[in-house]
Structure 1
Amino acid sequence: MNRKEYKGYLVDLDGTMYKGKQRIEEAAPFITRLKDKDIPYVFVTNNSTSSPEEVAKKLVNHFDVPAEASEIYTSSLATADYLKTLEGNKVLVVGERGLVEALTQAGFELTSEDPDHVVVGLDRNLNYEKVVQATLAIQKGASFIATNKDTNLPTERGLMPGAGSLVAMIETATQTPPTFVGKPEAIMMAGAVEKIGLNKEDVLMVGDNYETDILAGINNGIDTLLVLTGFTSRDDLKLVNTQPTYIVETLDHWEE
């Protein structure tokens, strides 16, 4: 298949740039090539636990991947952007510092007292009381918003539970489906395209997870590059009807 020339790249992190704490050797050279050619890129991650500054620092210091905070678009930022379109300023959060900071900086009041919205992201300090508070608030009429539907996270230990697993528990308890913000939803992809400042026809979504990264492109009219270094395997692709625009074993196999 002839390769199109792309003016910008939307790039996933976990499973694409690194795998948990494990380095993906082809990742840093790929981003360096983009940087050397002055091709803009935005890291688009469903990770809601870290701030853009923390994500950029991790990429640079641990994986030698060129990154600045302004090039990071997390599901926490996308969630804050989405909440700005809704009525009500009081938010109950089930999540970690990255989500808390994004919502606080966007001007929302974080409270467990009669919230207008319940926002759920990955929370590695989750306890029963947090689930109780979220469940009762949703039952009383608060909107239910989830940063992303990732059921698992690829790490050096294996596939760990993701935010979607926690969301499923609260959905079961409330019998209320959430509004998902992160990949593959249109909410996050529209924000990412706006951030990179290009038409979606001119950007390529790069990722390792068919269910999030690749469907994010397919569902929103953006070409996709699946790299087989993380979640999705070639065998998995035999089970889906719509294939990625491109597939590579590693990012060394992609010529910008």
Structure 2
Amino acid sequence: MTYKGYLIDLDGTIYLGTKPIPAGRRFVERLQQKHIPFLFVTNNTTKTPQVVQQRLADEFGIFVDEAVIYTATLATIDYMDSRGLGKTFYAIGEAGLIESISAAGYIWDTETPDYVVVGLDSHVTYRQFELATLAVQKGALLIGTNPDKNIPTERGLVPGAGSLIALMETATQQEAVIIGKPNRYIMESALRELGLPKHDVLMVGDNYETDIQAAIQDGIDSLLVLTGFTQKEEIAGLPVAPTYVRDSLDDWQV
């Protein structure tokens, strides 16, 4: 089948930590050459789209417009705007998350924020968890940017945002609203950004639990590429098979 547009994961699909995946770059270049629209849909909230754009260029030789990068941070802001509970927040997360939410007009509040947002933070402290837990107990809405338990890197699988969110859910005895893949919210928002109906779009990713489940749950065709999180030996036991499976994106014709 020929697809008119693509939603593409980054970590484990286009690169693996700091290590490039050459087939990923070639795949993007084929899409660009054929003028096929695509959107990078990433659960990574540590960097702004501008920083992601620069990193793709500097480290991996992939040159794209900032507009084709849609992060779980942007989806989180869209969700906060839609809820309209107020304009204050506290967050566990790195600069890409906190700066973007602040730029969207939300005010930092460590005492009684309207929202507590939890994303990946490689320097998180116990004190931050204390503040976040107390804020939720006072009525703040707990939001998790994405459920990724682990992040694939060149060193192996390291803790992801989902691990931090699980700690917060345990501490507050409340279930977080999860925005990123496989949640449908980020997928529906990404489709609106891409401007195509779901039957014309293929979701490409390496993680069955997030990328492929996001597509399955939202009725989008999926391509699982075996360059990151999900391994070949796991495929036979998957509850619902991806639409396609490839060892490398070099094996996919656009």
Check whether TM > 0.5.
Answer: yes
Counterpart amino acid of residue 189 in structure 1: M
Q: Which residue of 2 aligns with 1:194?
A: 192
Does 2:71 correspond to 1:74? Answer: yes
Taking structure 2 as the reference length, the TM-score comes to 0.98
- 1:14 alignment partner, one of 3, 11, 26: 11
Structure 1: distance between partners of 2:32 and 2:174? 44
1:65 to partner: Cα distance: 1.6
Q: 2:210 aligned with 1:221, yes or no?
A: no
Name the aligned partner's letter for residue 68 of structure 1.
D
Matched, 1:206 2:219: no
Please state if 1:103 is matched with 2:118.
no
Of residues 159, 162, 167 in structure 2, which corresponds to 1:161? 159
Number of the residue aligned with 1:23: 20
8 Å contact from structure 1 (residues 12, 44) kept in 2: yes
Gaps of 5+ in 1: none
- Work out whether residues 150 and 162 of structure 2, in 8 Å CA contact, stay in contact via their aligned partners in 1: yes
Instruction: For 1:144 and 1:106, locate their aligned partners in 2 and report how far apart those are by CA, in whole Å.
Output: 18
User: 1:61 Cα shift?
Assistant: 1.2
**Counterpart Cα distance in 1 of 2:190 and 2:227:** 23
The alpha carbon displacement at 1:238 in A equals 2.2
In the TM superposition, what are the counterparts of 1:74-93 in structure 2 within 5 Å?
Answer: 74-86=71-83, 87-93=85-91
CA distance in 2, matches of 1:234, 1:144: 35
Conserved 8 A contact 1:206-1:213: yes
Shift of 1:35: 0.2
For residues 28-65 of structure 1, what are the alpha-carbon distances to aligned partners after superposition, in whole Å with 9 as ceiling and x for unaligned?
Answer: 11000000000001000000000000001111111112
* Alignment match, 1:53: 50
The answer to whether the 8 A contact 1:27-1:65 is kept is no
> 1:206 aligns to what SS in structure 2?
strand
Q: Match of 1:130?
A: 128
User: Using the alignment, how far apart are the partners of 1:68 and 1:20 within structure 2?
Assistant: 21
Is the Cα–Cα contact under 8 Å of residues 28 and 66 in structure 1 kept in the other structure?
Answer: no
Conserved 8 A contact 1:8-1:198: yes
Give the TM-score normalised by the residue count of structure 1: 0.97
Shift of 1:140: 1.5
Q: Would the aligned equivalents of 1:43 and 1:73 in 2 still touch at CA under 8 Å?
A: yes
Deviations 1:209-245 (A, max 9, x none): 0000000100001100000000001222222221000
Q: What residue in structure 2 maps to residue 241 of structure 1? A: 239
Report the CA distance between 1:111 and its aligned residue.
1.4
Residue from 103, 110, 127 that aligns with 1:112: 110
2:129 is paired with a residue whose SS is helix
1:197 Cα offset (Å): 0.7
Query: Any idea what SS the aligned residue of 1:119 has?
Result: strand
Offset of residue 180 of structure 1:
0.2
1:107 Cα deviation from its structure 2 partner: 1.0
Identity of aligned residues (%): 50
Stretches of structure 2 lacking an aligned partner (at least 5 in a row): none
Give the ranges of 4+ consecutive aligned residues of structure 1 lying more than 3 Å apart after TM superposition. none
> How far has the Cα of 1:88 moved from its partner?
1.4
